[in-house]
Structure 1
Amino acid sequence: MSEIKISSTGWLAIYLRNGNVGMFDLNDTSSWQYLQVESIEKQSKDVNNDLNYLNRNLIKFSPNGEFLVVNGQNEQLYIYIQSNFEKSEVWWKLQRIICVKNFISAMDLNNEFLLIADKSGDIYKIDLLFNNTTTTNNNNLMMTAENCIMRHLSMLLDIAFIRINDKKSFILTADQYEKIQLIQYLNTSHSGKYCLGHTEFVSHIKLIDNNHILSASGDGTLRLWHLPDCIPLVLLHSKALTLSSKQIFYTQLYDSNSSLSLEDYQQDTMSQESSLDLSSTLDYSIWKMDVASYNSINSNVYIAFSIYAHRLHSIYLTSLSNIKQLINEQRQLIFDISYGTIIDYCFPSKDILFNDYTIYSKCNLYILFDSYVILNINIISILLSDQTKLFVKPNQTIQEINNILASRDIHLMNYNIKTDEIVFQQLFKNSNNNSCHKRKLEIVEQQQQQQQQQQQQIKKQMLSSQSDNEIQLT
């Protein structure tokens, strides 16, 4: 699920809990717009904790920043295009509405087309370069079998389009049954290759560069792969990262005049994190992950991730070089409860990082809380810092966005459908059921083998006894 994204042109998109999207220009906060996606009444239907009726909140920009795709809860996708009019209060215009039959579980897009995966495992392709006019009620597009380019037997949790070189392009899929599949684009009938090794559902695949991806799974592991040969390069369990990380406490509303000391105030929040029982696979499963990659795997790659047990107030930071060399230079960011709980976080687009002259000293992570407060944190300085307590103030741009969000009373329109949490729990439930089923099959097979061995033993005894009788008769 993604509820905050930053485009290559500097637009910040926030999926609001009333079903709409807030758009903010990070270069000019006076330029902001609300995209009316759907009404709250349409979202409030009872999902009954069923994967078949869960749409994941997804927002995504095209690499060039011209297109924005929003997935709501009403079986519709909304495609927006950035306006070319310089003096306009409408910076994003609705281009087309895509109607789907099944609920959408994942999507990705390039500058030419959009790929969406539904809960049944089908992948559809939608052309983005059609007539760039605003939509009407008559030009909504209904997904049909003609748009389907690939079918899977399981629900897909993440997909990505990757171009290895000028001649070869691939579609990556991550599914609920432990597999990452690499299929050559335009030759999707071919079975493709697999990145195998995860033991639970694969929740995230992130591109490092054209030949490397990082995957995260419900089994709690992060894995680095080389493409297109699907060779595993690095495997690390989140337990190794979380237990060795240095803790940094972030505070915002602590009152220095309070009778409660900062140390006690800090302990109250941090104890909520450390008191959890990290005993199950679910607790260590990767809840969210994002990657900041400057250019190639030889440059430093920064990773932000959360585990299920500490998803509400903590984000772990590390780098790919730390993981590869096992340096154990991780940081656990623990946020003051006054911020609220973490909804989502993301790094800026790779183009923003690469074009910024400060990329080797500055890499911001943008964090969205359910209080509709946004923070941006320079994680390079955090990884280099030995401080344990930090007082954070958003920069002027982010503070202006926070003021706009507060003035609109967004939090008052909050609806409480925790889609990803339901998805995670259902996936683990299904996994456990499958494990029980596999175990039952193993027990049956063992019993059958034992019966066969017993029958063979009895047969041998009978033959041996028969042979002895024949000797006695002679």
Structure 2
Amino acid sequence: MVSLKKCRDNILFNSGKKLIIFNGDNIKTVNLPEPAHNLDKRGEKNVKDINDFNISCFSVSRDHKFIAISFENKEVMIMNEYFELLRKFVVARTTSAMSFTSSNSLIVADKTGDVFLYDLKEDAMTPVLMLGHLSVVLDVALTDCEKYVITCDRDEKIRVSKFPNSYNIQSFCLGHEKFVLSVKVLQNKLISASGDGMVRFWNYLDGKQLAVLNTNDYINDHIINQFKDEMNSQDVEVFALPITDMQCFSTENYIYIGISLFGYQKLLLFSLNPVSLKVNFCKHVYIGESFSFYLDDNLLFLTKTNILCLKLENDNYKGEVQNLIDIDDVHDLHLKSAFDIGLFYKKKFDNVEEYIERKKARLKLK
């Protein structure tokens, strides 16, 4: 999945095995060191697939001095703000999400559900197991006070754990009916987005839901039904168009929430009053078939052909979408194919008919 993150005055995004910088005037590709080949049990090079060298995720430290880049071949690179390689190491399993602490230690979640803490100041880089889920962890967030780490998974669960002693569980935030893709903490509120099309707002200390937003209320039923039919043909039962990305931005008066839905060509933009917890729909922003976005006082969109911008003025994203720059074909962006939504769903499985046939066979033998 293509992600956009801010590092000082630059916007970074990944495409395949490339990290690309947009500085407002032009874009350029970071020359990343070639990832090491996969090793077999004998320690010999074993190249399985070119996709093993794609970036699985990346994260920028809070002080913007460090960038962590994880690859599908389980290698993690740490770079400084000038994109110089500082160190690299190999994790046990492919990384699914990462987050820096204020002391620039690195929280790493993997696709088997384990979450580790790496102290980047240590030479040995020995991972400390923090906590574990029973399924792939899809996002990790650290509260501003750094007393709690929040993780979410494919099994609809949000876990709030004390940090750094994360074996102590503070609460669970339960209510989503499909995979929880994203968690954000702003103004002491936890905001979560899910494959059930819902955005939920929580008091993460006690796990109580404060408010809920159904994003599918703002799109055409025909689009939802078309997606249901498509997934049903793959033996996957769905009831809503899933959220594929959630970005949040906080001002003095509002928390703005941008939502992209699978296969939907518009961004949904909402504002939340953090005191009354009233959610207002702001607008649809038509972008096109495939896009990624970054939300702050400039709402940026990355498409296959350009980078677009919508400015925040007087508590409102006004005006027309502006084209900031055209993207050269050399960057070879594949936004749509990078997100395989079917991998996040659990397939329907009915073994009752098979059981009945076996039972009939046993009865005939008696």
TM-score over 0.5 for the alignment? yes
In structure 2, the residue matched to 1:305 is 259
2:31 to 23, 26, 35: 35
C-alpha distance in structure 2 between counterparts of 1:185 and 1:160, whole Å: 11
Q: How does 1:356-395 map to 2 (within 5 A)?
A: 363-371=297-305, 373-379=306-312, 390=320, 392-394=321-323
- Paired residue total: 336
The percentage of aligned residue pairs carrying the same residue is: 21
- Counterpart in the other structure of 1:158: 139
Q: Which amino acid in the other structure matches residue 427 of structure 1?
A: F
1:234-313 to structure 2, matched below 5 A, reads 234-242=211-219, 277=226, 279=228, 281=238, 283-294=240-251, 299-310=253-264, 313=265
Question: For 1:238-264, what per-residue CA distance to the aligned partner results, in whole angstroms no more than 9, with x for missing partners?
Answer: 1223359xxxxxxxxxxxxxxxxxxxx
Distance 1:24 1:415, change over 3 A: closer
- Which stretches of structure 1, 4 residues or longer, exceed 4 Å deviation after superposition? 29-33, 39-44, 53-56, 273-276, 379-385, 414-417
Partners of 1:54 and 1:103 within 8 A in 2: no
Distance apart, 1:46 and its partner CA: 7.6
Give the corresponding residue for 1:45.
49
Contact kept in structure 2, 1:285 and 1:308, CA below 8 Å: yes
- Corresponding residue number in structure 2 for 1:409: 330
Q: Which amino acid aligns with 1:99?
A: V
CA 1:381 to 1:276, structure 2 compared with 1: closer, same or farther past 3 Å? farther
Larger-gyration structure (1/2)? 1
Report the Cα distance in structure 1 between the residues aligned to 2:173 and 2:90, rounded to whole angstroms: 32
C-alpha distance in structure 2 between counterparts of 1:227 and 1:275, whole Å = 31
**Among residues 271, 285, 292, which one is paired with 1:344 in the alignment?**
292
Q: What is the CA RMSD across the aligned residues, in angstroms?
A: 3.6
Name the structure 2 match of 1:169: 147
Worse-matched range after superposition: 57-66 or 277-286: 277-286
SS in 1 for 2:343: helix
| Residue aligning to 1:5 | 5
Which has more strand, going by share of residues?
2
Judged with a 3 Å threshold, the aligned counterparts in structure 2 of structure 1 residues 187 and 201 are, in CA distance, closer, same or farther, namely same
Q: TM-score, normalised by structure 1?
A: 0.62
Q: Distance in 2 between matches of 1:95 and 1:234?
A: 43
Q: Which runs of 5+ in 1 are unaligned?
A: 48-52, 83-90, 131-138, 245-272, 349-362, 445-474
Q: How does 1:416-431 map to 2 (within 5 A)?
A: 418-421=337-340, 424-430=341-347
Q: Distance in 2 between matches of 1:344 and 1:56?
A: 16
Q: 1:319 aligns with which of 268, 271, 277?
A: 271
1:185 is matched with which residue: 163, 166, 190?
A: 163
The residue type paired with residue 114 of structure 1 is L
Q: Flag the structure with more relative contact order, 1 or 2, with Cα contacts below 8 A and sequence separation at least 6.
A: 1
Higher helix share: 1
1:225 lines up with 2:206 in the alignment: no
Alpha-carbon distance, 1:30 to partner: 7.6
Quick one: which amino acid aligns to residue 346 of structure 1?
Y
Structure 2 portions without partners, runs of 5+: 39-46, 230-237, 357-366
Mapped to 1, the partners of 2:334 and 2:29 lie a distance apart of 21
CA contact (8 A) 1:20 1:38 kept: no
The answer for the alignment partner of 1:206 in structure 2 is 184
- Kindly state the Cα deviation for residue 380 of structure 1 after the two structures are TM-superposed: 5.1
Q: Output the amino acid matched with 1:367.
A: F
SS of the equivalent of 2:273 reads: helix
Residue 230 to residue 20, structure 1, CA distance change in 2 (3 Å)? same
Give the whole-Å Cα distance in 2 for the aligned partners of 1:30 and 1:160: 31
TM-score, normalised by the number of residues in structure 2: 0.79
1:230 to partner: Cα distance: 1.9
**Cα distance in 2 between the residues matched to 1:325 and 1:416:** 33
Is the Cα contact below 8 Å between 1:2 and 1:59 reproduced in 2?
no
- In the alignment, is the contact (CA less than 8 A) between 2:290 and 2:335 conserved in 1? no
- Structure 1: how far apart are the matches of 2:53 and 2:30? 24
Secondary structure of 2:226 counterpart: coil
Counterpart residue type for residue 245 of structure 2: K
SS in structure 2 opposite 1:409?
Answer: helix
